[in-house]
Structure 1
């Protein structure tokens, strides 16, 4: 039986994850994300499935029950412990992981041990088009079937073992029937924008205990439905000298022919505060580099946490930085986009404000939006106000996005808004508890329409499954 101390496991996995973030193994293979089923190479017609929460290999046919088909369908997602690898999420929201070398299904706890046990790197299988799965924390082992049970065994250089550990990814036995999430896996705090006619999405990587993810990814789309994963664009470990975790709530803006990424970060060395930083790139998909080598706003410089940055650029070309948790702040940015006059910082906190400021302009009216309550609360929601300038004054208009329990949607919030170029068509990106089995640290990203009434007020946003 495996026994590991928490301290040694965390240290080992932190080091291993850093290596994985910096390089992909030479034998790695790429898998398509999204709903898939996994068919055995040497037992065609038998598929990976879970039964009583244990992984097995069973026959599945068109005549199988709906439950069997569902149990044999998984969503291939961003690796919980490494973006270079993959995790497999069942239709009930749980993940395949190995424990005492047995493959089973469990709810993501977000700790380093679970995330590593539930992350598998794809390598070439025994026949063309097949893959084998190597646990990220035990790369010398492979997922293989033994007496039709799934185990993680030491790799053997035999034809039988290679066949037992090889699988083909096929069309899912249970196709996806809902719109969300728009990007497979656990992500939150999405910032959506349109750059040169293409939509870009920058989320927090979720699924970590304490929201301790160290990196950001970028996704892009032409239709808000099909998204391209551009990989890691900033990793706090090697890329940011003053932060190594808590990579929260990125926001990207194009200005001066460059792209500026505003982000929050913390350090594991006893520094419990969150700082706000800025990174820069020549491409909207990075890589980004820390522009200052220090925080733009240090923890404790203003009341509340220095998190959830957002930048709005007015028609005049002036850009404004918004941020805050508990207290909402705004300040005009200097032309360099990486500095401001502290004397110009203004408190614009509305009643009910918690975090996640977002500002946009439509038909001469400024809209200031934010999230209320706690992101771990199913009543996390979005409210807004209108004003006559980027600095206010603001008139609160009410809540426009909230839970929909009849569809299992809880905690929709921390949103951003984008307008389709050359139109008056608007969309809102937001996170919610993953459906099903999600919570405030296991969240997913959705995108829905946002409309206005004849007076320019935002109609209630209807979250869709």
Structure 2
């Protein structure tokens, strides 16, 4: 299944057709906010969707209920695992609400297409004002409803009782999050952040896919690196990129020529597993972006190592440099059009311990080259850095600055970017980690922490936070 705007549109068409057949009037798509929420039954006041013993139920919850009950009745509404236009519901212990044999239960995300579809639900208007009904993504004629206080995925019926049993009010969470991280709800990785137009703009790999087979890129923006606005899909490999239809990895954006250039990794689902680098362009940092070349900027096999993880650094003189590569780190000055370069100027700059995800910035005349060590599936994935006197080096390795913190349950901290608050010497590092507590190398989330410098310009070790 190719997941993205095409699949979402198909599901929406099927849903609209199903609703027209089985109800007196077609239901309309409902707005469902992301973040921590609880779901209250419209016809059983004070009864909320919760999970217990692995199964979804409808139970009474009050402020005096045990803490575990309130936790079990709290879900994080996230980007739909199978479609960005729908939603998935993540428990506080990292599981997802899904249907199996028509019963609603919570399970760990396996990342395969069947699980993603089973755990994705599209919101339509419920039976009373302000309520929603949740339609199955892969069985659009079925909705979540409570029956004998169990949660089931049942075929839609044109009755008042069914409409009430399948409608829920979106309520404040019984167990609100108190942690700062993750900064955007859901599964995302490889974050790249820039400052533009008075806001921070974040781009990330959409995660939660077996084999990292995501197909689209999203953009988020924030005024404070804490509260983020989701700007939706800004580039979809299915309809928007002719030479790639999956492996939408590691988007990185640079501003030049009054425009915004997104560099990204892409692959073909047809069996060619080799990755290539592309570049897309937009007049806005929030997209939409369009493929600038109609072909890869760097084709698979052109250089040794895997062609992934692009990043562009622009120096004070306006010259931009493209960095990329897994296994080998390369750099090349970009031409003024930001979409071409002289192959004769490509240089290998692989530091000791390097695996992937190069990132370069400049502070007080010193250039910093940062990268990720070890495999992204390893809890030992981490960030190291070197310093140099030019964007091309030479580079002197300084050590590891970000790594796992097992006493807090934080693992796999890596593939980062760095941003400076405009007009200050305040810096932040944005990175991914295994989703806490049940994540792994394909179920990752995005975190932000302060990054500070010693008097000699070295980077102090960053303590990853919850």
Which range, TM-score by smaller chain? over 0.9
User: Equivalent residue for 1:351?
Assistant: 352
Distance in 1 between residues matched to 2:5 and 2:306, nearest whole Å: 26
Instruction: Quote the residue 1:234 is aligned against.
Output: 235
> Any conservation in 2 of the 1:279–1:290 contact (CA below 8 Å)?
yes
Instruction: Provide the residue aligned with 2:263 in structure 1.
Output: 262
Change (3 A) 1:266 1:157: same
Between Structure 1 and Structure 2, how many residues are aligned? 456
In the alignment, the residues of structure 2 paired with residue 155 and residue 445 of structure 1 have an alpha-carbon distance, to the nearest angstrom, of 37
Shift of 1:63: 1.3
Over 3 Å counting, the alpha-carbon distance change for 1:39 and 1:264 in structure 2 is: same
* Corresponding residue number in structure 1 for 2:23: none
| Alignment check: 8 A CA contact 1:18 1:237 kept | no
Task: Provide the residue aligned with 2:372 in structure 1.
Answer: 371
Task: Give the structure 1 partner of residue 295 of structure 2.
Answer: 294
SS class of match (2:344): helix
CA RMSD of aligned residues (A): 1.6
Q: What secondary structure does 2:350 align onto?
A: coil
Q: Distance in 2 between matches of 1:354 and 1:12?
A: 29
Give the equivalent residue in structure 1 for 2:410. 409
The 2-side partners of 1:145 and 1:22 are apart by 26
Q: Does 1:338 align with 2:314?
A: no
Kept after mapping to 2: 8 A contact 1:368/1:385: yes
Q: Secondary structure at the match of 1:366?
A: strand
Q: Is the aligned partner of 1:116 residue 2:107?
A: no
2:2/2:238 contact within 8 Å kept: no
Tell me the SS of whatever aligns to 1:303: coil
Deviation at 1:14, TM superposition (A): 10
Residue by residue over 1:138-188, the C-alpha shift from the partner in whole angstroms, topping out at 9 and shown as x without a partner, is 111110000000000111111100000000011111110211100000000
| 2:38 counterpart SS class | strand
CA distance in 2 between partners of 1:194 and 1:108 (Å): 33
What pairs with 1:414-453 in structure 2 (closer than 5 Å)? 414-453=415-454
* Residues 1:136 and 2:111 aligned together: no
TM-score relative to the length of structure 1:
0.96
Residues 185 and 400 of structure 1, relative CA distance in 2, 3 Å threshold: same
2: CA distance, partners of 1:95 / 1:460: 34
Preserved contact between residue 20 and residue 82 of structure 1 (Cα < 8 Å): no
1:67 equivalent in alignment to 2:58:
no
Deviation at 1:16, TM superposition (A): 3.5
Please name the residue that 2:38 is paired with: 37
SS in 1 for 2:436: coil
Contact 2:7 2:83 in 1 (8 A): no
Offset of residue 196 of structure 1: 1.9
> What aligned pairs does 1:264-343 form with structure 2 within 5 A after superposition?
264-343=265-344
User: Secondary structure at 2:438's aligned position in 1?
Assistant: coil
Q: Distance in 2 between matches of 1:457 and 1:19?
A: 52
TM-fit CA distance, 1:20: 5.3
- After superposition, the Cα gap between the structure-2 partners of 1:18 and 1:369, relative to the gap in structure 1 and judged at 3 Å, is farther
Q: Structure 1: which 5+ residue stretches go unaligned?
A: 1-9
Q: Of 10, 19, 33, which aligns to 1:19?
A: 10
TM-score in terms of structure 2 length: 0.96
1:146 aligns with 2:147: yes
SS in 2 for 1:37: strand
Relative distance call for 1:155 and 1:271 in structure 2 (3 A) is same
**Greater CA deviation, 450-459 or 61-70?**
61-70
Change beyond 3 A, Cα 1:268–1:22:
farther
1:252-292 CA-partner distances (Å, limit 9, x unpaired) = 01100111000000001121100000000111111111000
The offset of 1:202, in angstroms, is 0.2
- Judge conservation of contact 1:365–1:388 (CA < 8 Å) in 2: yes
* Other-structure match for 2:170: 169
Please say if residues 360 and 366 of structure 1, whose CA atoms lie closer than 8 Å, have aligned partners that are also in contact: yes
Give CA deviations for 1:321-377 in whole Å, capped at 9, x if unaligned: 000000000000000000000000000000000000000000000000000000000
- Whether the 8 Å contact between 1:382 and 1:414 is mirrored in structure 2 is yes
Runs (4+) of structure 1 exceeding 2 A deviation are: 10-26
SS in 2 for 1:97: strand
Displacement, 1:237?
0.2
Q: Which residue of 1 aligns with 2:156?
A: 155
Residue 19 of structure 2 corresponds to: none
Structure 2 unmatched runs, 5+ = 17-26
Question: Are the equivalent residues in 2 in contact too, given 1:13–1:137 (CA < 8 A)?
Answer: no
